[in-house]
Amino acid sequence: MLDAAVQVFSRRGFHAANMDEIAELSGVSKPMVYAYLGTKEELFVACLQRESMRLVDNLQAAADPTLPPDQQLWQGMRGFFEFVGAHRDGWSVLYRQARNQHPFSVVVNAMRETVLEVITDRLDAAVRAEGRQAKSEDITAMALTLVGASESLADWLADHPEEDAGRTATRLMNAVWLGAEQLLRGELWRPGQE
């Protein structure tokens, strides 16, 4: 039933989606949808909450703080891309439909804020491990870069079912870990032993 809602919201967007279609796809009548899941807004929020929980779970399951920073980063990215690949509709609802639509944006942005905090903390720890320290706004900018680049590749992944989550994560590592300069010179980052 939630699955049906996610599917319809993904295809049509919040406004264009109508409750009759969701009910029909669920195989029940409209008043049942209202009885179980409340209004259209409440239903949408329920979808958002389930999908964002899945996303964050996938990120954190991939976190192993004992590994070196690049491995941690790669694993986090792979977890994220695996969620996107496995739940394309969920991704679409979260980032293409809800992200900028009041009042749903607050839910999504809260989740994005959480993700940003996690990454910021990791970066900070990695810098400290080098015996250095960086301005917090520089760390923030780096985290924003990582998240934005991930979202962009995620969108691409969502539209290319043939692509593999691990390969996508590796591509992103090459871009953001080594940097464009190294890449132009032919250097490559490779995932270590699993």
CA atoms within 13 A on the CB side of 59: 18
Residues contacting 22, CB < 8 A, separation 6+: 4, 5, 8, 33, 43
119-158: which residues touch its own copies (CB under 8 A)? 123, 126-127, 130, 132, 134, 137-138, 141-142, 144-153, 155-156
The listed partner (its own copies, DNA, none) that binds 150, CB under 5 to 8 Å by sort, is its own copies
Of the two residues 63 and 141, which places its CB atom closer to its own copies in the complex? 141
Regarding 182 and contact with its own copies (CB under 8 A), the answer is yes
Choose the contact partner of 117 out of its own copies, DNA, none; CB within 5 to 8 A by kind: none
Q: Which does 109 bind (CB under 5 to 8 A by kind): DNA, its own copies, none?
A: none
Q: Which amino acid is at 60?
A: Q
169 binds its own copies (CB under 8 A): no
- Contact of 14 with 105, CB cutoff 8 Å: no
Cβ proximity to DNA: between 16 and 106 the closer is: 16
Cβ(136)–Cβ(144) below 8 Å: no
Sign of CA dihedral 98, 100, 104, 107: positive
Which lies closer to its own copies via its Cβ, residue 52 or residue 97? 97
18 is a site residue for its own copies (CB under 8 A): no
Spatial distance between the Cα atoms of 65 and 75, rounded to a whole number of angstroms:
11
Residue (75 or 168) nearer to its own copies, CB:
168
177 binds its own copies (CB under 8 A): yes
- Let me know: does 87 contact 54? Beta carbons within 8 Å: yes
Q: Name residues whose C-beta falls within 8 Å of residue 105's C-beta, 6 or more positions apart in sequence.
A: 98, 99
Q: In the complex, what is the shortest distance from the CB of residue 45 to its own copies, in angstroms, rounded to a whole number?
A: 17
* Interface contacts to DNA, rule CB under 7 A: 16-20, 28-32, 34, 39-41
For residue 87, the tally of other CB atoms under 10 A from its CB is 20
**What φ, ψ does residue 163 adopt, rounded to 5°?**
-80, 150
Residue numbers at the binding site for its own copies (CB under 8 A) = 13, 15-16, 69-70, 73, 92, 96-97, 99-102, 123, 126-127, 130, 132, 134, 137-138, 141-142, 144-153, 155-156, 168, 171-172, 174-186
